[in-house]
Structure 1
């Protein structure tokens, strides 16, 4: 906790933004934090420092959201990915250590900003509300991810001394939802603008805060509040792209009508690109050459056969979501040859030509409008409004080119929404968290090696050692 919660980390690094256009760099300096928090630009730079942590952290979100579930697997069974897939991840694995540190770095930076901006002169800090809302949104997102991954975690909303950090306990999930996540998002939605222009496009908006809050309510099974909040999102001007494939065409603008909030990456800016293209491409020489991918590839995130089997033959999402080959320039389909050296299938959602290794322009879509429509349909259905929910589910199906549903019972609607989320949102980090929040995780995953306590990941062993007080900082059940 000492390294995680000290203020020194706040300005000791190059702070870069995660938006493709508002990427900036703060100079490394030795001035005090008080001096750094003076002008509106200072607070904007500090906000950028919070965004930057999510760039690092979300490079690994697929481990938690995708590989852990049933639609994706680590076919070659190697290292961390294999351990996540097989429910054998050790509590000292670097994935857990880095995830914990990244989120608490983001929280520490957000806390420092919020402490300072609370007393800032609004006449000087002209975008005070916006900076506050962005920091609250990002802090809420960090805590939402933390509680979904680890369960009870330390609740830190202020700068801590070293001594205080050693005495900070794990707090109950419900308290974290009530006292930070929901409060932050309610305040953020009031303070954030509906949209941005120019270089600021890509920052958190009012719609992003409302959409994330709707997901929070849904996760807590507060279906009445989820319905109300997600309905608000449907009035803000978002719309599905007419062509689903355009979501994955990186020659086009990613800030389109379906965009709500991404973790942003940019190619060609020296470390601002993502790793997804290299990480998810099979080690097939002809395929690598065809797509124009530079650098080594890693054979991770293999679509499971159960995912292939979900799709109707005419579903427009099928071949991009999961494929067992590629179609060359002559229109010939080239299948992946089964080999012990490469995976037999892959997702095309993140495939794009790159000229530098691990420098992909592919964003991570934290929440997009299709997700909102499906969550809204789910909330309506759980509130007994099945007929009202049906058109929202069918919007997703119609775009995909498959037949809409007619009359459904509440139980059938529940199952169809879950199925549609699998097909629409595969490889976007949702499946595992959907299984857990709906109580289906163990039922679905026990045949893959899951034990009942595996709904949570282990607390990193380094944190357990550091605090060394099981009365306030115990390991999650099953991992001792």
Structure 2
């Protein structure tokens, strides 16, 4: 296979078996493509290469899903790149935009190669053929789903491609990518993937994860009947809310609990930790000591005053979501120092950490509370408001709040939107919720958003490499 030199980043053949279960083992040596895809383990290792690409990409996904929205802001003025994302002055030269494009197409290229090589594989040799196909499809679907939500129209590639052909491949319409790749991949993956794993495979994509993501896709497309149907299936698959919301963010406990559906998995101490604890922790001694955080920290991603104010009295989620200091075992509150550049932080990723940027905190891609709220939204939009309130209340009352009674459809819609805001802060959801529900401009115009900024600019490097606006134009407003 030729190495692709344009917008596709050719996947280095550095693959791993893993486990945190499956992400823990270190990469094996590079090998030639022609001899790599032979055995079941070859394909399993290749699939792990796709997961590892998401490990890199999701370290910064909060910049798209949270920082861009109204609940997170960059108060640390030295972080100019983050401030530009926050205040809508980012341009096509931003590092996070270029690296995200590369990461997603790296994953897509790896998945396409797996799917191309495995199609003729003998099931007697590749005994988990169906699972490998389904995992590659699931991960490719996530990559394309993120790409179209971040950039809009992008090149749609479903097979390995030569460098010459890559330079001729223009942008495909979002609708085509949803219909021809994202939805098809998730439907097929949902039918092939196992419902659960045991042992070292725990953490891999399941049929429940594929169906939950498909529900999110349908909701984004405003296909509420299909969203209702598939999300209803997920509610029958054995998932359940944890009784205590805060346990979701206690990383000393098993993260593969009843509410878990799909995370990006990280593990400390072996070079596979996340940056989340370092990123969001204030570089303030009382805070770092309280949580056992060692090394330098970033002071990034402060919750906004609007998010503080959005929590009603008695909401048990508030304390771990937003904070202005720490309270010790004796009840003594220590605020962040006056004049310190960061005046608020989230506790959702606070966990003991021995080395900078080496946290065990996972990134939650989708969990069961999200499914319940999406299902409630779909039911409500389909005119089944009383049923919608039932599922909304499962999440609402878990937070210690009084259950909603009968409400009209419009009121229920707004309450579901609010519940998603409070439940899923710092989980990469808020900005995309604002965009898909048509509320982004009203919310963000005061801080600089313009009409065309529902998507980000394409990376400057890709525009320059393609150098053909007839097939690869920059997004409107960013020229």
Q: Deviations over 1:4-59 (max 9, x none)?
A: 5364x240x35464754443334223x42121100000000000000000000000
Give the Cα separation in 2 of the matches to 1:396 and 1:37.
Answer: 45
Give the Cα separation in 1 of the matches to 2:243 and 2:16.
Answer: 37
3-state SS, counterpart of residue 87 of structure 1:
coil
Give the Cα separation in 1 of the matches to 2:16 and 2:6.
Answer: 18
Structure 2 match to 1:254 = 255
Query: Is contact 2:19-2:202 (8 Å) kept?
Result: no
* TM-score (norm. length: structure 1): 0.97
Give the Cα separation in 2 of the matches to 1:252 and 1:152.
Answer: 41
Q: Deviations over 1:411-448 (max 9, x none)?
A: 00000000000100001110000000001100111011
Q: Deviations over 1:218-276 (max 9, x none)?
A: 0000000000010000000000001111101111000000000000001111x200000
- In the alignment of these two chains, the number of paired residues is 475
Query: Is contact 2:261-2:366 (8 Å) kept?
Result: yes
Structure 2 match to 1:427 = 426
Structure 2 match to 1:34 = 34
Query: Is contact 2:19-2:200 (8 Å) kept?
Result: no
Structure 2 match to 1:135 = 136
Query: Is contact 1:103-1:146 (8 Å) kept?
Result: yes
Structure 1 match to 2:63 = 63
Query: Is contact 1:281-1:297 (8 Å) kept?
Result: yes
Residue 401 of structure 2 is aligned to residue 402 of structure 1: yes
TM-superposed deviation, 1:90: 1.6
Give the Cα separation in 2 of the matches to 1:433 and 1:364.
Answer: 16
Give the Cα separation in 2 of the matches to 1:50 and 1:234.
Answer: 28
Give the Cα separation in 2 of the matches to 1:194 and 1:338.
Answer: 51
Query: Is contact 1:6-1:159 (8 Å) kept?
Result: no
Structure 2 match to 1:151 = 152
TM-superposed deviation, 1:291: 1.4
Structure 1 match to 2:205 = 204
Residue 468 of structure 2 is aligned to residue 469 of structure 1: yes
Q: Deviations over 1:340-397 (max 9, x none)?
A: x431110000000111111101000000000000000000000000011001000011
| 1:206-245 matched pairs, under 5 angstroms | 206-245=207-246
**Distance change >3 Å, CA 10–CA 121, structure 1 → 2:** farther
* TM-score (norm. length: structure 2): 0.97
Q: Deviations over 1:160-195 (max 9, x none)?
A: 111001001100000000000000000000100000
**Distance change >3 Å, CA 3–CA 14, structure 1 → 2:** farther
Query: Is contact 2:15-2:46 (8 Å) kept?
Result: no
**Distance change >3 Å, CA 222–CA 351, structure 1 → 2:** same
| 1:104-143 matched pairs, under 5 angstroms | 104-143=105-144
Structure 2 match to 1:344 = 343
3-state SS, counterpart of residue 66 of structure 1:
helix
Structure 2 match to 1:176 = 177
Query: Is contact 2:286-2:334 (8 Å) kept?
Result: no
Structure 2 match to 1:386 = 385
3-state SS, counterpart of residue 365 of structure 2:
strand
Query: Is contact 1:112-1:159 (8 Å) kept?
Result: yes
Give the Cα separation in 2 of the matches to 1:325 and 1:178.
Answer: 47
| 1:327-342 matched pairs, under 5 angstroms | 327-339=327-339, 341-342=340-341
Query: Is contact 1:4-1:105 (8 Å) kept?
Result: no
Query: Is contact 1:18-1:52 (8 Å) kept?
Result: no
Structure 1 match to 2:442 = 443
